Structure 1
Amino acid sequence: MAALTQILSALSPPPFIQTEEYDGLEYRYRFFVFRPALFQREAALLAGLLAYVAFFLLGRWSNARKATKWYVRVSISQTRYRLDAHLPILQQQFSRPKNWTQDGYSDFFNFSTGRRNVASLHTIFTLRPRHDFLQWAFQTGRTFVDLQYRPTDDLQLDFKLLAGALSHDFVWAVVSKDELLSIKDDRWDLTFTKTTENPALPSQFSVMSEFADVTEGVFKAFPLTKFLEDPKIAPYFRSLSITDQPRDRPLKPLKPSEREQHVILSLKAPSALHAADTAGIVAAIFPFIDALSKVALRPETKIKLKKVRDEIQKDIKIESERDKKEEALEAKKAAKRKAEEERIAKLSAGDQKKILEKERKRSIRKQQGKLTAKK
């Protein structure tokens, strides 16, 4: 009992001592007295908590507003849509455009289907965590340490193409030069390409293509440079890519049914006030996709493209089989260890001690052998 009393006394806060010399501001109401100067620490903690809550609410509102204003602008009456956002474009192009789906406070998704040449469109907002002060502060602080790190509000329109929409399998992209340092780290498919300058493009863009013939075929099929010259697009454009390969290197060879062709438009999400600035490039993507079936390639280019894919599939198959063998070997070793442990557990205490001593001596000999080898 005495020990419990000592523990409780140690955990209890020290008693409050009222000083008689207080001459600061105070409020009295009957027998209640409030002296603000005695609660400075509590006031600071409360102010910090309120600031954190305000940061969370403001950040959550800001991200939701940015995503929804890009999709559709609502009039003051909240009853009708204005025609300066992207919803009318999607409604015109798709028979089944869906509403936003929100995951947390920084990720927003939209899924649309029902269009010629397009199996589906995934519109994905990945915004900065403005609702989380610690994450936001970490990202902001990192920009001062790592000059290549630039957190952005990312907007991607990922078009999954129907069979026949693309004339041939290839990887090709137009990329803002600001993205060249990091884009191949995030996109395995773009490692197939070589980066070159193209005089037909504005100076802030580069081409990533497997072969020059592919670039010529794309530009002949559709006047893409006309839309990239729009000054409204430059602040937001990150990349536009055509690909028949997955973003991440597959762990096993892809079956014909698993292969997909995509057109991916990557943008910096505009602010809510400038949500309609990207409407031009978004609207242009649809005729661009329709024109891809007209991309003409030379026979030798088609042969080279197929050869590259066959070699990649072969390498992936070799790696996959090697990984399977390693996994099977590890499983065999684990099963052998488990069987040995079960056998030892059934022995007497004396026999177990002998086995443990034998293992200890064997481990010592191994360590001595390693030291001798190093000398």
Structure 2
Amino acid sequence: MADMIKGLFGGPKPSASPVPTGDSDFADFAGAPDPSPASFSAIPTAASFTGVGAAPTGDAVPWTAWYNVHERHSLSEFRQEGVILGFLVVIIIVHVIGTSSNRKKARSWITAHGAVLKKEFALVGFGGPQIPTVDQVETDGLMKVSDSLVWHESLMKEKSPQEFTTYASGRQNIAFIDVNLALHKRYSPITVAVEFAMSLFFESMSTPAERVEAVLYPFDGRESTTVPGQVPGAHELRKDVKSSYDGFVWAVVNKDTMKQLRDDRYDVSLTSTKDSSKLPNWVTIMSESAEITDFLLTPELIKAIESAGELLEHLIITDQPIAQPQTLDETIPKKRVHLSYRIPSSGDYSKLMPIFEYFVCLTDILVQGAHFRAEVLRKVKSTREDAIKRLQKADEDEKAEERALEREKSKKVKRDLELKGLDAKAQKKYLEKEKEREMKKMQKKQTQRG
């Protein structure tokens, strides 16, 4: 301690080694011993640590738990994320399988019905490749033609994963035809299960089914309302082409769907139901006249119905709207032919092809022979006239109510102007007289009721 005090206050310094000349700043360290290599080995380095809290050894790399992720974490910590990821993978797989299955069913339908559509119409689909002919199939083979031409977005559009549609036009007596395929939501099995369960507990909900719904719009002098850009009566420029026939409502209906069809459709509700001994017991006729039934129930149709079996839901010829008309414009006849049948689970459409072919050619039969006697048409028109009269009466009542409101409004304006032109005394007298008139009216009404 005395030596340190002396060194701080200028005392004599211990002599160790000679101080370099001219370098007095480092005089205090001049006597320090030179470091040797062995002295550095005692300094801990990064290689001297082997774990958390480990003492330096000088011969190991310091790989601690902080760098080893597998020591700090385990798969059990990501159990929740793994479950969520698993659910997402299952949902994606089910969606892909379901949508591809529906596309396959739509492809199967257009392949089976394509030959009929190609034969009867000039344009099939939405402007893309045409459906192959029989010669093409025989030459190139069915698989090759099906893969390259039949299934194409231009032939059948996918409106949604469970709904597909196609279109055809360019035929005598037909403006165009729309076809819609409604399939199960295979990409969402839970939704399908819920729909089936709901149909079991609620009668108002029908059992989900895969079906084809086709609507045919015939030419009948109303081209401007069905095909945009057409001149009314343009098809009649050719004397050999006349697409007109008498309007009526007639249907062949599966008894399982008869009640719901009558409740849902206004046009079918105008008919009366009667079974026919010529038809199977699971189907019935809904018609406005027995003479119409005798004309339409041909042997070809009976054979096609028997071939289709209970997959057939209905074949409807109508000129009335589906929904009950609310205005006079909606009562204007618009002729259509509807066909609906369930899609077979096997994918075999051979038994359904006769009814589809008959449906496409039905307008030819109607144009040739659907011209009935005046007595038959009088009965058919009477129902429509009753509906028109009800709408006319409702329209007249509505207009009368509007006129009454206008009169009341004009009277009120006139009264307000008269009151403004009077002084306070005259206004009081005016209001008293008005009140007396109202009381007299009330007494007169009560006397008339009594």
Q: TM-score, normalised by structure 1?
A: 0.69
Q: Deviations over 1:157-190 (max 9, x none)?
A: 1111112546311101001111112112322210
Question: Which residue of 23, 44, 49 maps to 2:88?
Answer: 49
Q: Gaps (5+ residues) in structure 1?
A: 1-28, 73-84, 332-375
Question: Is 1:120–2:172 an aligned residue pair?
Answer: no
RMSD: 3.0
Deviates more, 1:276-285 or 1:90-99: 276-285
Q: Which residue identity lines up with residue 105 of structure 1 in the other structure? A: P
SS in 1 for 2:171: coil
* Equivalent residue, structure 2, for 1:236: 311
Question: Is 1:270–2:344 an aligned residue pair?
Answer: yes
Indicate the structure whose relative CO is greater, using CA pairs within 8 Å and at least 6 residues apart.
1
User: 1:182-193, aligned counterparts within 5 Å?
Assistant: 182-193=260-271
Question: Which residue of 200, 208, 215 maps to 2:293?
Answer: 215
SS in 2 for 1:189: helix
* Equivalent residue, structure 2, for 1:313: 388
* Equivalent residue, structure 2, for 1:299: 374
SS in 2 for 1:86: helix
SS in 2 for 1:217: helix
* Equivalent residue, structure 2, for 1:194: 272
* Equivalent residue, structure 1, for 2:106: 67
* Cα distance change on mapping 1:86 and 1:253 into 2, 3 Å: same
- Structure 1 residue 30: Cα displacement: 5.1
* Cα distance change on mapping 1:320 and 1:135 into 2, 3 Å: farther
Deviates more, 1:155-164 or 1:34-43: 34-43
Deviates more, 1:310-319 or 1:119-128: 310-319
Find the aligned partners of 1:178 and 1:89 in 2 and give their Cα distance.
29
Q: Which residue identity lines up with residue 364 of structure 2 in the other structure? A: D
8 Å CA contact 1:66, 1:270 repeated in 2: no
8 Å CA contact 1:110, 1:124 repeated in 2: yes
* Cα distance change on mapping 1:321 and 1:58 into 2, 3 Å: farther
- Structure 1 residue 255: Cα displacement: 7.2
- Structure 1 residue 60: Cα displacement: 1.5
* Cα distance change on mapping 1:39 and 1:172 into 2, 3 Å: same
* Equivalent residue, structure 2, for 1:26: none
- Structure 1 residue 324: Cα displacement: 7.2
* Equivalent residue, structure 2, for 1:355: none
* Equivalent residue, structure 1, for 2:165: 109
- Structure 1 residue 316: Cα displacement: 2.7
SS in 1 for 2:352: helix
- Structure 1 residue 330: Cα displacement: 11
- Structure 1 residue 288: Cα displacement: 2.8
* Cα distance change on mapping 1:47 and 1:206 into 2, 3 Å: same
Q: Deviations over 1:312-354 (max 9, x none)?
A: 12223334555678899999xxxxxxxxxxxxxxxxxxxxxxx
Q: Deviations over 1:263-320 (max 9, x none)?
A: 1111112347324442222112233331123135343111111121122122233345
Question: Is 1:154–2:198 an aligned residue pair?
Answer: no
Q: Which residue identity lines up with residue 339 of structure 2 in the other structure? A: L
SS in 2 for 1:203: coil
Question: Which residue of 231, 237, 253 maps to 2:328?
Answer: 253
- Structure 1 residue 202: Cα displacement: 1.0
SS in 1 for 2:324: coil
* Cα distance change on mapping 1:310 and 1:104 into 2, 3 Å: same
The count of aligned residue pairs is 289
Work out which of the two has the higher radius of gyration on C-alpha atoms and give 1 or 2.
Answer: 2
SS in 2 for 1:70: helix
Find the aligned partners of 1:328 and 1:59 in 2 and give their Cα distance.
60
Q: Which residue identity lines up with residue 225 of structure 1 in the other structure? A: I
Find the aligned partners of 1:198 and 1:273 in 2 and give their Cα distance.
30
Q: TM-score, normalised by structure 2?
A: 0.58
8 Å CA contact 1:52, 1:133 repeated in 2: no
Find the aligned partners of 2:175 and 2:257 in 1 and give their Cα distance.
28
* Equivalent residue, structure 1, for 2:255: 177
8 Å CA contact 2:301, 2:355 repeated in 1: no
8 Å CA contact 2:177, 2:214 repeated in 1: yes
Find the aligned partners of 1:320 and 1:57 in 2 and give their Cα distance.
54
SS in 2 for 1:223: helix
8 Å CA contact 1:270, 1:277 repeated in 2: no
8 Å CA contact 1:125, 1:156 repeated in 2: yes
8 Å CA contact 1:70, 1:272 repeated in 2: no
Q: Deviations over 1:44-67 (max 9, x none)?
A: 322222222222222222222212
Find the aligned partners of 1:198 and 1:224 in 2 and give their Cα distance.
13
SS in 2 for 1:45: helix
Find the aligned partners of 1:45 and 1:139 in 2 and give their Cα distance.
26
Amino-acid identity (%): 25
